[in-house]
């Protein structure tokens, strides 16, 4: 079993108190009501959301307020939020028990405890320590890597800058967890330049991508390469952010380059992330 994230949280209110509850959750907290499917709407209650989470408010016959179990909301400015509650007549119970974490509790109209926590100090924002080891690809690993991409993307080939590469021939680094590949970076060197031909992490936001790129950078320097370059397709905004945060700079735009790539690898999809048409290649570089 692997739990990915929390999908939504449900809190309870007394049956028939939806109007009062909306005054608190929509008017005071500023959450937006989203449509509840008709089949469920009959049961009462309502659904709320903002750009980051969903909160379901369920109506309960024998309602008892949750005084221990609670939702914790991250807020942009804790002091302002506190003042806001105080001016609206709510009691605020501050909690200083944890050094470096500013937070307080407020009880909703029905006595449910809610926590408010300063953005950047939230428990979900604290980085989870994740232990892994980056290894260099050896001859014995290349077949496994090539099989990995065949299973994941339906092909053991990758196209970059108009060239078709086979994972069986590419050098690079990998990370494994329980003997399964979870991150791979492949490079090739040509004319004194290193190209990061492919970078893929199965488990994201745990530092694996950064660790792999750092190893590739180390190798480029060791091989006296003038620069390290990486190609990102126009749909891949996450990768553009990722490379720039690592110090890479945009150095070229190859318009309609993906059309040419498709002639070499027909499996390249027409659309990518967020259904954006995949058409162009953006070249990022790190100069040494």
Ligand X SMILES: CC(C)(COP(=O)(O)OP(=O)(O)OC[C@H]1O[C@@H](n2cnc3c(N)ncnc32)[C@H](O)[C@@H]1OP(=O)(O)O)[C@@H](O)C(=O)NCCC(=O)NCCS
The smaller minimum CB distance to ligand X, of residues 14 and 183, is found at 183
The smaller minimum CB distance to ligand X, of residues 116 and 149, is found at 149
Among 210, 224, 256, 271, binds ligand X (CB under 6 A): 210
Binding of ligand X by 204 (CB under 6 A): yes
Greatest CA separation found in the chain? 74
Binding of ligand X by 4 (CB under 6 A): no
Question: Which one of 56-64, 102-110, 140-148, 199-207 is the stretch in contact with ligand X (CB under 6 A)?
Answer: 199-207
Q: Which of residues 216-245 bind ligand X (CB under 6 A)?
A: 232, 236, 238-239, 242, 245
Residues 6+ apart with CB under 8 A from 93: 104, 105, 106
Binding of ligand X by 258 (CB under 6 A): no
Q: Which of residues 145-164 bind ligand X (CB under 6 A)?
A: none
The smaller minimum CB distance to ligand X, of residues 184 and 225, is found at 184
Place of tokens 């989203």: 34
Q: Which of residues 105-134 bind ligand X (CB under 6 A)?
A: 127-128, 130
To ligand X, the closest distance from the beta carbon of 191 in angstroms equals 21
Which position's Cβ is nearest ligand X?
209
To ligand X, the closest distance from the beta carbon of 210 in angstroms equals 3
To ligand X, the closest distance from the beta carbon of 153 in angstroms equals 10
To ligand X, the closest distance from the beta carbon of 167 in angstroms equals 13
Total number of residues binding ligand X (CB under 6 A)?
20
Question: Which one of 91-99, 174-182, 205-213, 257-265 is the stretch in contact with ligand X (CB under 6 A)?
Answer: 205-213
Residues found near ligand X in the complex (CB under 6 A): 127-128, 130, 198-201, 204-210, 232, 236, 238-239, 242, 245
């Amino acid at each position: 079993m692997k739990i990915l994230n929390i999908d939504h949280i449900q809190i309870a209110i007394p049956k028939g108190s939806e109007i009062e509850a909306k005054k608190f959750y929509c008017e005071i907290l500023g959450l937006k009501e989203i449509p509840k499917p008709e089949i469920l709407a009959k049961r009462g209650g309502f659904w709320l959301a903002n750009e980051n989470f969903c909160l379901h408010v369920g109506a309960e016959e024998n309602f008892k307020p949750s005084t221990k179990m609670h939702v914790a909301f991250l807020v942009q400015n804790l002091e302002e939020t506190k003042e806001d509650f105080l001016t609206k007549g709510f009691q605020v119970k501050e909690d200083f028990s944890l050094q470096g974490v500013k937070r307080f509790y407020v009880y909703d109209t029905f006595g449910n405890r809610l926590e408010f926590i300063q953005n950047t100090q939230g428990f979900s924002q604290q980085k989870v320590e994740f232990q892994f080891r980056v290894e260099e690809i050896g001859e014995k690993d290349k077949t496994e890597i090539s099989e990995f991409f065949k299973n994941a993307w339906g092909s053991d080939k990758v196209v970059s800058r108009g060239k078709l590469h086979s994972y069986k021939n590419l050098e690079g680094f990998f990370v494994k967890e329980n003997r399964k590949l979870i991150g791979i970076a492949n490079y090739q060197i040509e004319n004194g330049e290193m190209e990061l031909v492919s970078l893929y992490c199965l488990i994201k936001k745990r530092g694996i991508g950064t660790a792999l790129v750092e190893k590739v950078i180390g190798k480029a320097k060791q091989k006296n390469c003038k620069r390290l370059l990486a190609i990102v397709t126009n749909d891949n905004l996450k990768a553009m952010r990722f490379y720039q945060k690592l110090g890479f700079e945009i150095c070229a735009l190859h318009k309609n380059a993906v059309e040419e790539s498709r002639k070499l690898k027909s499996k390249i999809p027409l659309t990518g992330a967020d259904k954006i048409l995949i058409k162009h290649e953006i070249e990022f570089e790190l100069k040494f």
